[in-house]
Structure formats: C-alpha cells, structure tokens
Amino acid sequence: MFNNYKKIVEEILAKANIKINGKRPWDLKVNDERLYQRIFRGGVLPAGEAYMDGWWDCKKIDELVYRLLRSNLIKKVNINSKLLSAVITSRIFNFGAKSKAFEIGKRHYDLGNDLFESMLDKRLVYTCGYWKKAKNLDQAQEAKLDLICKKIGLKRGQKILDIGCGWGSFAKFAAEKYGAKVVGITVSKEQVELGKKLCKGLPVKIHLQDYRDVNGKFDHIVSLGMFEHVGYKNYRTYMQIAARCLKDNGLFLLHTIGGNSSVTQINAWIEKYIFPNGMIPSLKQIGEAVEGFFVLEDLHNFGTDYDQTLMAWYNNFVNNWHKIKNNYDERFYRMWKLYLLGCAGSFRARNIHLWQIVFSKNGIKNGYQSIR
C-alpha cells in the first residue's frame, strides 16, 4: 500500500523537480515510509506535522517550498475534501471576530519574549525589513521604520496611532527620532509589559486593546503586520475605524503581507501552529474595504525583502537556540524552522508579497510624492 502512495507522491513532486531521497539540498529525505499515506490523505497540515514528528527532512526547506509554489502544483493537484471543508467553514465562521481577538496574542506573541529576542533585531521589529541599502538586519529594520516616518511626513509633536504595535519598536523610533507622540495597541500581554519598559520616559502609551475599541483622533495612523489577523469579514470594519480615528489631513500607512488571489480560507498548518485565525488579504479585498473611506496615494511592494528578513530571523533563531532551548522542546524547534523557512520560500516564489500602502482621506492636493 505504501508503495502506491509513494509512487503518487513521487509523480507529484517530480513536477516541481523534487526527488525523494535525492542528493540536492531541496530534495525530500524520508525517515518514515508512512509519510506518503499521511501526506496523500491530508495535504498541508499532516505534511507539516510529519516534519515536526521527524518523518521527513530537507537541507533547504525554503528551496523546497519555493519549487513547490513556482511549479503551481496546487493547480495541478485536485482539491481534496479537507480543503473544501476549510473553505466552507471559513464562510460560516468569522475567524477575526472580536471574541477571538486576543487568541493570537496568547498563542503566538505570548510564547516568550526570550524567543523573539533571540530571533529579531535589537529593536524587536517583527515585520519585514527594508534592505535597499542595508547590510544587516538591524540596519534593514531601522531603514524600514525611517521609511514609514518619511512616507507619512511625520513632524515633531504629531500624534500617531500604531495598530498592532508589538513591543513598541515603531513607537519608540518615532518618538526618539521624530519627536512624535504615539499610542500603540496590541492583543499580547507580553508585548505590552516589555513594550512599556522599552519605551519608558518617552511620549508613548501602549495598551492591551482590540482595534475595534480605539477612540480619539490622530494626525497619522500606521499598522505594521497586523492586518493579516483581521480576517476578510472584518476588513471593511477595520477601515471604517481607521477612517474614524484619522484626522482629515492625515495619512494612514498600511504595512501588510498580501496575496495574488482573494482567499477566505486559512492555511491549515499555519492556523493550527503559528497564526490562529490568520488570513492574507488581496488587493481586491483591500480595495473593496477602503472604498468610500480612503484615497490610495501610494503602493510599494518589496516582498522580496521579506525573504531576506526571514532568512536573517532563521539564522538568529538557529544560532541562539542553545540559549533558550530549555524553555522549548525539539518539536517546537522543528516547527519554528518550518515556519520561518516555509514563509521565506513563499516570498521567494512571489506567491505572497509585502505591501506598504499609503492612504489619505480626501486626496492630497497636487498629489503624493512617493518615497523609496
């Protein structure tokens, strides 16, 4: 029976120039013959779990994922019943509902500050860096934060709302370098606690709060890597709240991962182990959500920089694992590697992107001058 499943899996992988037990770094090394049946019957989720369980290995998972995606294998392989079920379920349930707002904080961002401190740059920026002139991760993240400030035309004394502020990396930078006043919100208790310490003495306030509970008016709004947690049923509500909180002459910068197609389902493995209730928006979905609320002034795609950022995070994570491994187990180690390398391969394949979109409420007189 295993041989039948093996033959089918071999034929599928061959379309992406991937061999089982081959010698190339992106080839699949099978450690347990039950893998074929497990993959064939379940798809992405059991394939990821099989890696976590040690049933397969690969020297360069990022290259494996890159080849799988570039070959358009998803379009060549018939949809299975479990994927169809996920699509139907997403239509019925609102994965970004307010009742679920703090779930992502508890299950991902509260995993442990030691994990993120060992992986990220010195400012703890957990979003894509800007590598145009940068030589390392610290420089790439500084450049990204400065780019955002310049894109919104930030001036001393202005008040900014940071939706999904993380550990306060942007808030601290904007306050220190530009003299801004920042209100940041996050759904992670760990981020609030550490963020307040890192921003101590600065005009920065960080709150444990859902975006739907924000009030007040702000000169500018930024949202960096948070829109992916909103869910397609809530995109328009999110934009409505942003419009309500932004002053008439202000700018709203949305920094988000984006996809080539509009989706309403969640990647099963990512949803279960990494980002519960996560969903990547398309330009169509964003466009429909902002209609009547904002004018799109600028769109900047630098998704290839996320590949480089993720590989930097991966190297930091692996090199510093010995410092934190007593707080996590081997299965977590394999899970986190798969997450970082799999995402890097996805950006490399141009299957997903990183967009910085600048919105105004009424359109800028004489036009917006794009900054790169």
- Consecutive H or E run containing 206: strand 204-208
- Give pLDDT, residue 104: 72
In a domain, 155, yes or no: yes
Q: Which of 19, 50, 78 is the last residue of a domain?
A: 78
Tell me phi and psi for residue 120, to 5 degrees: -90, -175
What average pLDDT does the segment 132-155 reach? 98
Greatest mean pLDDT among 2-6, 79-83, 276-280, 321-325 lies in 321-325
- Give pLDDT, residue 72: 81
In a domain, 36, yes or no: yes
Tell me phi and psi for residue 13, to 5 degrees: -65, -30
CB distance 154 to 174 below 8 Å: yes
Q: Please indicate, yes or no, whether residues 154 and 267 belong to a single structural domain of this protein.
A: yes
User: Among the listed ranges 17-26, 36-45, 55-64, 93-102, which one has the minimum average pLDDT value?
Assistant: 93-102
On the question of pLDDT at 183 being above 90, the answer is yes
Task: Spell out where 47-197 has E strands.
Answer: 56-57, 159-163, 181-186
Q: Tell me the DSSP string of 48-62.
A: HHHHHTTSEE-S-HH
CB distance 180 to 172 below 8 Å: no
On the question of pLDDT at 98 being above 80, the answer is no
Percent of the chain with pLDDT over 70: 91
Whole-number Å distance between alpha carbons of 368 and 153: 10
On the question of pLDDT at 100 being above 90, the answer is no
- Give pLDDT, residue 96: 53
Q: Please indicate, yes or no, whether residues 267 and 322 belong to a single structural domain of this protein.
A: yes
Instruction: Return the CATH number at 245.
Output: 3.40.50.150
Rounded-to-5 percentages of helix, strand, coil across the chain: 50, 15, 35
Per-residue pLDDT tens over the stretch 53-87? 999 999 999 999 999 999 987 555 544 434 434 44
Number of structural domains found in the chain: 2
In a domain, 366, yes or no: no
Residue 180's domain comprises 98-360
Per-residue pLDDT tens over the stretch 213-231? 999 999 999 999 999 999 9
For residue 339, which of 366, 368, 310, 301 has the smallest C-alpha distance?
310
Q: Please indicate, yes or no, whether residues 73 and 104 belong to a single structural domain of this protein.
A: no
> Is the entire prediction scored with pTM above 0.85?
yes
Q: For 340, how many CA atoms within 13 A lie in the half-sphere containing its CB?
A: 23
Residue 145 CA from chain centroid, whole number:
17
Structure tokens at 328: 């996590």
Q: Which are the contacts of 92, defined by CB distance < 8 A and separation ≥ 6? A: none
In a domain, 83, yes or no: no
CB distance 71 to 44 below 8 Å: no
On average, the pLDDT of the chain sits at: 91
Q: Please indicate, yes or no, whether residues 67 and 103 belong to a single structural domain of this protein.
A: no
In a domain, 319, yes or no: yes
In a domain, 317, yes or no: yes
Q: Known catalytic residues?
A: 343
Percent of the chain with pLDDT over 90: 81
Whole-number Å distance between alpha carbons of 245 and 255: 18
Whole-number Å distance between alpha carbons of 170 and 204: 10
Whole-number Å distance between alpha carbons of 222 and 176: 17
